[in-house]
Amino acid sequence: MRVVVTGATGNIGTSTVHALAADPRVTSITGIARRRPGLEADKTTWVQADVTDADLVPHLRGADAVIHLAWLFQPTHRPAVTWDANVVGSARVFEAAARAGVPALVYASSIGAYSPGPKDRAVDESWPTHGWAGAAYSREKAYVERLLDAYQAREPRRRVVRIRPGFIFERQSAAEQRRLFAGPLLPGRLVRPGRVPLVPDLPGLRLQALHSADAGRAFALAALGDAEGAFNIAAEPVLDAAELADLLGARTVRLPARGVRAALAAAWNLHLVPASPGLFDLAMKVPLMDVSRARDGLGWTPEHTARDAVEEFLDGLRSGAGRDTPPLSPDTGGPLRRREFTSGIGRKP
């Protein structure tokens, strides 16, 4: 089988490529990315192409499945840029897959596509995917779900899978995620047990996470099997303030979510952090997901706990871990994180 992966050099992409390469059914992988990586992977040919403007059909023709992972998180201060990359880019990938006659399309949706929901029980894949209007990321994920609805109506013979992961971490993703969400002012070496004294205990702070390697296996299983439809993926335990405090050797302190959001909004407006307050709202509003369908329909179970994933991520923050790809490399920010400052912290990609 030949599989094409867009966004193949990012956090999920590298894990998906490795999972595919380890499967004997896969004969070749085409990894598409905006910037060519130094990373080498078995069975993989790298193609430099941007989903917003490249002719994708020649790269997709002859593939047995396309896994669409390409996504732009920044610049949060210019949502038209992320809309063009994420919504228009996804539409172009879907159209190219149809024109190239690819029989299977696997798309990386997100827990962020879901409408606000409960934190005291888990919802299945039938929960509405209207997103949260206050976060550009959520609006874009929800809109692409509608694009997929239209694609399936036009292409009923194509197999379509939507994977909706929780928050995805691993050691090698630390440099990228610190850059995208915390910004250049976070001293990674200080994020260690005993150095962070307090973790805010916020009403509604209950999150689901998983390891990148487990996410990669889910996407590989979806591409190589015969499953269709939507699948939630996440690992146990659900992460709350107590779990996070235990990881950091800290104690919890009850704080109002409104005050924390106000501080984040001020920092974002001053270009001190790249993560928008809308992302904070989204994290507080997304429901807990039931992942039993992934177990039964994909044959997927996580090999790492959510705690394992976060522990690895924190270790990666302290050590400056990454991979030899432009998104994941610790060197992407430049010496002393200079390029992060000159980007305007959320103004430019």
Q: Can you tell me the distance from the alpha carbon of 179 to that of 273, in angstroms, rounded to the nearest whole number?
A: 9
Report the SS3 class of residue 66: strand
**In degrees, to the nearest 5, what angle opens at C-alpha 255 toward C-alphas 128 and 258?**
55
Phi, psi of 84 (to 5 degrees): -60, -45
Tokens of 322: 């990454």
Which residue is it, tokens 């995917």? 129
CATH class of 2-182+206-237+287-338: alpha beta
pTM: 0.96
Q: What is the DSSP letter of 303?
A: S
Q: What is the DSSP letter of 110?
A: -
Contact 76, 346 (CB under 8 A): yes
Predicted confidence at residue 55, as pLDDT, reads: 97
Predicted confidence at residue 16, as pLDDT, reads: 98
pLDDT tens string, the chain, 349 residues long: the values are 999 999 999 999 999 999 999 999 999 999 999 999 999 999 999 999 999 999 999 999 999 999 999 999 999 999 999 999 999 999 999 999 999 999 999 999 999 999 999 999 999 999 999 999 999 999 999 999 999 999 999 999 999 999 999 999 999 999 999 999 999 988 877 676 667 888 999 988 999 999 999 999 999 999 999 999 999 999 999 999 999 999 988 999 999 999 999 999 999 999 999 999 999 999 999 999 999 999 999 999 999 999 999 999 999 999 989 999 999 999 998 887 988 998 888 887 7
Query: Can you give the residue ranges of every domain in the chain?
Result: 2-182+206-237+287-338
Contact 209, 309 (CB under 8 A): yes
Predicted confidence at residue 346, as pLDDT, reads: 83
Phi, psi of 182 (to 5 degrees): -95, -30
Q: CB-hemisphere CA count at 13 Å for 14?
A: 25
Residue 229 CA: distances (Å) to CA of 1, 142, 146: 21, 15, 13
**Strand residues in the chain grouped as ranges (E):** 2-6, 28-33, 44-48, 65-68, 104-108, 122-123, 159-165, 167-169, 198-201, 206-211, 229-233, 235-240, 251-254, 288-289
Predicted confidence at residue 227, as pLDDT, reads: 97
Contact 142, 198 (CB under 8 A): no
Contact 229, 319 (CB under 8 A): no
By C-alpha distance, which of 138, 151, 48, 135 is closest to 92? 151
What is the widest separation between alpha-carbon atoms in the chain? 56
Contact 95, 134 (CB under 8 A): no
DSSP string, 6-29: ETTTSHHHHHHHHHHHTSTT--EE
Report the SS3 class of residue 159: strand
Tokens of 106: 């696997």
Contact 51, 31 (CB under 8 A): no
Tokens of 281: 């709202």
Edge to edge, what strands does the sheet with 235-240 contain? 167-169, 206-211, 235-240
Contact 215, 277 (CB under 8 A): no
